[in-house]
Amino acid sequence: MSIAVRYYSRSGNTKAVAEAIADAAGVAAVSVDQDGASITETADVLFIGGALYAYGIDSHLKEYLKGLDGSKVKKAVVFSTSWISKHSIDLIKKGLKEKGIDVEDEAFYVKSKPDEAQLKAAADFARKYM
């Protein structure tokens, strides 16, 4: 099974969740602005995450979603962190669906900085889709 993990994180909270998921999958967590972030080979599952900033997602993540080749992603699973609102999850799901990608209803969310138990929960959550 081919798994990819992509994220955008300004201060490291979402990155920590991405890394916990990537470790569970045995792949690298790749920031969407990094070289090699494009999905060029078909991914059975794309775990994709970002946070909320002033009611929106970061422009790097927005652009990444716009540029995704939907035919290369069989299913996407969303994760997010934010201070209060889970709107980032809706925005990421919307961007994926606009690309025709099948998106898992359930998403993984942490309020701000994840602790060890939440990182373990992220890995357990992700294993359900591997």
Tell whether residue 55 is a contact of ligand FMN (CB under 6 A): yes
Tell whether residue 85 is a contact of ligand FMN (CB under 6 A): yes
Candidate segments 8-16, 30-38, 65-73, 121-129, binder of ligand FMN by CB under 6 A: 8-16
Residues of 76-95 as b/e, b for ≥16 C-beta within 10 angstroms? bbbbbbbeeeeebbebbbeb
Tell whether residue 53 is a contact of ligand FMN (CB under 6 A): yes
What is the rounded CA–CA span in Å between residue 99 and residue 71? Answer: 8
CB of 5 to ligand FMN, least distance (A): 14
Candidate segments 53-61, 67-75, 98-106, 118-126, binder of ligand FMN by CB under 6 A: 53-61
Phi, psi dihedral angles at 27 (to 5 degrees):
-130, 175
Which of 3, 4, 6, 9 is in the footprint of ligand FMN by CB under 6 A? 9
CB of 8 to ligand FMN, least distance (A): 7
Which of 1, 35, 40, 54 is in the footprint of ligand FMN by CB under 6 A? 54
Q: How many CB atoms lie within 10 A of CB 63?
A: 14
CB of 11 to ligand FMN, least distance (A): 3
What is the rounded CA–CA span in Å between residue 123 and residue 128? Answer: 9
Instruction: Give the footprint of ligand FMN on this chain (CB under 6 A).
Output: 9-15, 51-55, 81-85, 112
